[in-house]
Structure 1
Amino acid sequence: MILISNESRVIIKRLLKLLKPYIKKISVVFICILTSTGISMLYPLLSKQVMDNGLLVKDFSIVVKVSLITLAIALLEQTIGLLETKYYSYVNSIFQYSLTKMAFKHLQKLKIQYFNNTNFSETMSNIGMDVGNISRICDKGTFIILSQVFRIIGGMIGLLIIDWKLTFIVLLVVPVRYFTVKKFAKKRESMFNDFMEYSRDYASWFGDIISGIKEVKLWGLDRIKTGEFIKKQRNIVKINIKIAFMDKFNECSESIVFQGINCVLSIFGAYMVFKNELTIGGLFAFLTYSVYVIGPISAILNIGYNFSNVVPSAKRFFDFLDMKTEVDDSKKKILRLDENEVEGNIKFENVSFSYNDDEKILNNINLKINSGEKVAIIGANGSGKSTLINLLLRFYKPHEGKILIDGIDIDDIRLRDYRGLISVVSQDLYLFNTTIEKNISIGTKSDEATITKAAVKSGAYDFIKEMPLKYKSEVGRNGSNLSGGQRQKIAMARAFARKSKILILDEATANYDMESEAYVNQLLATDFKDSTVLVISHKPDILSKVDKIWMVEYGNIKEYRNLSDLEHNCRELKVSGLKE
């Protein structure tokens, strides 16, 4: 349409490509709509017959005959309408589902930076709003609008048959509506962009409040946050009112144009009736056909206006889908690994990394861990311990250098296979809102015996056996039904159930009692004797059991053979936060 910009055309073309799988069902919808349109064109002619050949000449048989024909046609039209509804509702629902699925699959592949900068509420709000708006391109209204060209053709034929002079008056609606719709559509799209931005900002703020609700309560921030809520909602309310008024202005202009055209048609039509140039039935038929033409013309011209919220949502949605993912699809050669063939040798070669250009968190790191070795990583807060682990997990990529597993660059390994080699137990863990059983067997196909064995080794079995539903017990959102220690034991059980080639423990026993912690530490030397283990911890009991210790300090890493070597060479152990 001439009302749609070049950018909008590109976006709509991209959307239409997504509709290709449903082209057959869409074709059925169009056929139904066109058939219904053709049938509806008969009503004015039938009314004309009733008026001119029935009522005016008092022929009752004609009235009955034409009325029965009209009823039969109406039944046929409604039957076709049911078929039409069946198919368009399917297309619309499945299209929404496919968009949501597309967004969800892409969301899981996005780089970790996205989740660091965007909370769940903002993500849900954006995807929900965009999918809802985009799906309008395949709702019944859009199908009907696109089929209006056939209604216009049919209506124009009817108008020309009755009187060509009055037809010219009807066509005056085109230039008038074109310029009014063009003006309103541009303003509405600008308003909707503002609405999207206000909504995104509010969703981000709301998610932040929910995440920090404890702080809101503890620090008495409820009044302050209510004030912020009112301010942000006020912006949304104001823009909603503006959009509503713009919709009403467009509707009013359409109504005024319609009434103006009808007024002129009625005056000229009545004049022609008085001059015996047109019958009364012909005038009523003409007025009916004019509605068939004026309405569709306005509807088609309104496409740009109606899509003024579709295009901004589609642009944001496609920008989201175009975000880079963790997997570099441009690589020509991606290796697939068999976990049973991996030894677990890890090597950092000249690895450097920084979150910004000002300061390197890690600077030219060269380290090696042999298969089966146990390494402890210590250092002050913010020294780069977690960064080192995140690089190994491929949440981030080194700015310089590379990381190797058994001599293979980890970036050359299929990401799913690579992460399948690693189990991570963190103090900052997450339990899914499902059963204990499913939380332990996550990412594996562990049977009941394996799950039970893992629970026993992690110390989780002691409290699980006391629960009414045992392993079928629901843990709640992020383990809200469990204590901190119980949650951590479930997370540890995951590692025992999976028995990966590489195990990473990030303060994994922080919430354990001393007896349980000593028991688990002993198991690391037995159950994971063939696994490569990296432990972030400052506890001497753990440090005494590892093969070597890495101290991360000022972007560099110093390696110590054992705890005695560390204590001998590092007098100021406060730097590392070492504690009993």
Structure 2
Amino acid sequence: MSAINKENGIMKNIIILLSSHKLSIIFSFACTFILALASICAPILTQNLMDKGVMLLNIKVTTQYVVYIIILFLIQEGLSFIQGIIHINMQNKVHLDLEVESFSKILRMKVQYLKNEGFASIFSTISCDIDTIAQVANKSFLILAMQIFKVIGGIIGLMLISYKLTLFILIIVPVKYLIINKLTEIKTNVFNKFLLVTEKIGMWYGDIMNGVEEIKLWNLYQIKKNEYRKLQSERFKLSNKFQVLDQISENSGSLLQNIIFNYLYILGIALIIKEEITIGVLITFVTYSEFVITPISLFMTIKYEIANIKPAFENYFKFISGIEENQDIKELKNLQEPKVIRFNEVSLTYDSKKVLSHINLELTAGEKVAFVGANGSGKSSLFNLLLRFYDPTEGAIYIDDLDIQKIDIDKYRDLFAVMSQDSYLFNTTIKNNISLQNTLSVEEIQKQCIDKKIESFLKFIEELPKEFQTDAGIRGSKLSGGEKQKVALIRTLLKKNSPILVLDEATSNYDMESEQLFNRLVSDYDTYPFVFIITHRPEILEHMDKIVVLDQGHIICVDSYKNLLKSDQIMPEILQNNCLQRS
């Protein structure tokens, strides 16, 4: 699937997209070829039915040819049914492959891009493109491409009846081409606008869902309803244009065919008068000319149908070639026992605002480090860089003198056990939220919690009616804030072989007893070479070896808790107000 790209061109990409379905396509083409042969036989059988049976009032011959025609019809319908099943399976498989590929791509995209564009908006837009692209595998589209066989077979059959009448009906080809060419140009422009509006609606909808509480608090129902109506009205206007263009294409084709058919009678009578054909030949020719003109018309609408698919392909190419996190595997030394993490002149600019400025910091294994500062001071941005959710605008971060950007992203993140301030709980059981990779049984979770001296955090779980099988709800909605943080902490501490522990406001919703237990735990914990804590709670700071104070994107102080208390310097307001004020 990844072989499709913008440079290939639309038709080559369609071929690549369908390349994994070669056997199905070959079988479908075989069916079409047999149907084409049937198209040659059908007019000949009908001509003989008319001339040798009906016109001569020969009941036996008439019955014989009727049986032949019925058998031929049953074969045609049976093959068409088989073709339909093949293409249904193909379309669903193509759709599934594209959906999985796009979902995997979204998960690998940079966090900064996902936050800017919105996951829901991206997925909604790309799903619309995939729905359109998958049409290349449905029966109607591929049958269009296969109509050439029917056209050839039908023309041969009609040529055997009358080459003059056959040449006449081929006039439809250049006329039909001119009509389709113009309609295709218009439809391409309309579809491009349709995709832009769909993307706009996706972004708007994602914004609305994220702000649903504000809508309720401010009674914005009618305002947002009107906005939605306006956006959807714009979309449906473009959709109406599609339908009008399709109707024009259909009606113009029908009109053209009708004119050709009627003129066939005039030309046919002239040929009968000249005794070049019989009445039976004319009736047969007129009857079966439709089986040639219709495939010709369908075959020529391929370009018109691609007018939908081409913009969707281009959008998909743009999406699939988007920037994603580095996954290049490098030759590395053993990173399971890192000794030093170093920030060297690291800066980060976000939306033209410098949120971190020339950060220089060295963190050594064996240290427990707290990061403190007011909201917006740069703490979260610092760790977004360390976890490689963002890339530095300037400078670099090193682990044991190795630039972290040169480390395979999956191997790199395996180094970290992270509990973020808003640790996400999935809409599944507590057990599955603790063991995200589904590698631990309930008994193993309990045993490891005892080994790590955090079994008391399991108490609330064991008091629930379904214990570990209790559903956490969407975003952990069925649990309290403190319970969610306990589940997240257990999950973090049970992650194996991660030498760097990161805890971001891990106790913000804890009760007094749980927080005291957590503080003792951190104080005595020596499992992790590196322990980093982001906190506003002063109680935990005295258990830290080093405190890093940030203010407005700068590190203004790095020292121990005791030295900071003893310092005769005027303590930064950020430290006084947020960290050292005891309740």
TM-score of the two chains, using structure 2 as the length reference: 0.93
Q: Is the 8 A contact 2:32 2:150 kept in 1?
A: no
Q: State the match for 1:484 in structure 2.
A: 481
Q: Is the 8 A contact 2:357 2:554 kept in 1?
A: yes
Query: What's the offset of the Cα at 1:276?
Result: 3.4
Q: State the match for 2:573 in structure 1.
A: 573
CA gap of 1:338–1:437, structure 2 versus 1, over 3 A, is farther
How many residues are aligned here? 569
CA gap of 1:324–1:11, structure 2 versus 1, over 3 A, is farther
Q: State the match for 1:139 in structure 2.
A: 138
Q: Is the 8 A contact 1:342 1:406 kept in 2?
A: no
Q: State the match for 2:400 in structure 1.
A: 406
Q: State the match for 1:325 in structure 2.
A: 324
CA distance in 1, matches of 2:175, 2:56: 41
Alignment of 1:67 onto 2:66: yes
Q: Which of 379, 384, 404 is equivalent to 1:385?
A: 379
CA distance in 1, matches of 2:57, 2:526: 101
- Gap regions ≥5 residues in structure 1: 1-6
Q: Which of 328, 338, 343 is equivalent to 2:338?
A: 343
Query: What's the offset of the Cα at 1:478?
Result: 1.0
Match of 1:334, SS state, is coil
Query: What's the offset of the Cα at 1:124?
Result: 2.7
Q: State the match for 1:545 in structure 2.
A: 543
Q: State the match for 1:104 in structure 2.
A: 103
Q: State the match for 2:269 in structure 1.
A: 270
Q: Which of 423, 436, 440 is equivalent to 1:429?
A: 423
CA distance in 1, matches of 2:455, 2:414: 21
CA gap of 1:225–1:528, structure 2 versus 1, over 3 A, is farther
CA distance in 2, matches of 1:445, 1:413: 26
Q: State the match for 2:503 in structure 1.
A: 505
Which runs of structure 2 are paired with 1:433-448 in the superposition (5 Å)?
Answer: 433-443=427-437, 445-448=439-442
Query: What's the offset of the Cα at 1:39?
Result: 1.6
CA gap of 1:284–1:294, structure 2 versus 1, over 3 A, is same
Q: Is the 8 A contact 1:337 1:418 kept in 2?
A: no
Q: State the match for 1:208 in structure 2.
A: 207
Match of 1:481, SS state, is coil
- For 2:578, the aligned partner's letter is G
Q: State the match for 2:467 in structure 1.
A: 470
Q: Is the 8 A contact 2:472 2:478 kept in 1?
A: yes
Match of 1:361, SS state, is strand
Q: Is the 8 A contact 2:45 2:69 kept in 1?
A: yes
TM-score of the two chains, using structure 1 as the length reference: 0.93
CA distance in 2, matches of 1:335, 1:362: 31
Alignment of 1:334 onto 2:312: no
CA distance in 1, matches of 2:432, 2:528: 26
Match of 2:307, SS state, is coil
- For 2:573, the aligned partner's letter is L
Q: State the match for 2:49 in structure 1.
A: 50
CA distance in 2, matches of 1:8, 1:335: 32
Q: Is the 8 A contact 2:38 2:76 kept in 1?
A: yes
- For 2:198, the aligned partner's letter is S
Q: Is the 8 A contact 1:548 1:559 kept in 2?
A: no
CA distance in 2, matches of 1:242, 1:79: 37
CA distance in 2, matches of 1:263, 1:355: 70
Alignment of 1:176 onto 2:171: no
Query: What's the offset of the Cα at 1:225?
Result: 0.6
Q: Is the 8 A contact 1:344 1:501 kept in 2?
A: no
Q: Is the 8 A contact 1:156 1:289 kept in 2?
A: no
Q: State the match for 2:29 in structure 1.
A: 30
Q: Is the 8 A contact 1:88 1:140 kept in 2?
A: yes
| Runs of 4 or more consecutive aligned structure 1 residues displaced over 4 Å after TM superposition | 336-339, 453-456
Which runs of structure 2 are paired with 1:528-567 in the superposition (5 Å)?
Answer: 528-567=526-565
Q: State the match for 2:3 in structure 1.
A: none
Identity score, percent: 35
Query: What's the offset of the Cα at 1:561?
Result: 2.3
CA distance in 1, matches of 2:14, 2:157: 36
- For 1:473, the aligned partner's letter is T
Cα distance per residue 1:57-99 (max 9 Å; x no partner): 0111111111222222233333433443343222222111111
Match of 1:326, SS state, is coil
Q: Which of 481, 487, 492 is equivalent to 1:495?
A: 492
| Bigger mean CA offset, 144-153 vs 454-463 | 454-463
Query: What's the offset of the Cα at 1:344?
Result: 5.1
Q: State the match for 2:359 in structure 1.
A: 365
Q: Is the 8 A contact 1:446 1:497 kept in 2?
A: no
CA distance in 1, matches of 2:290, 2:77: 21
Q: Is the 8 A contact 1:374 1:548 kept in 2?
A: yes
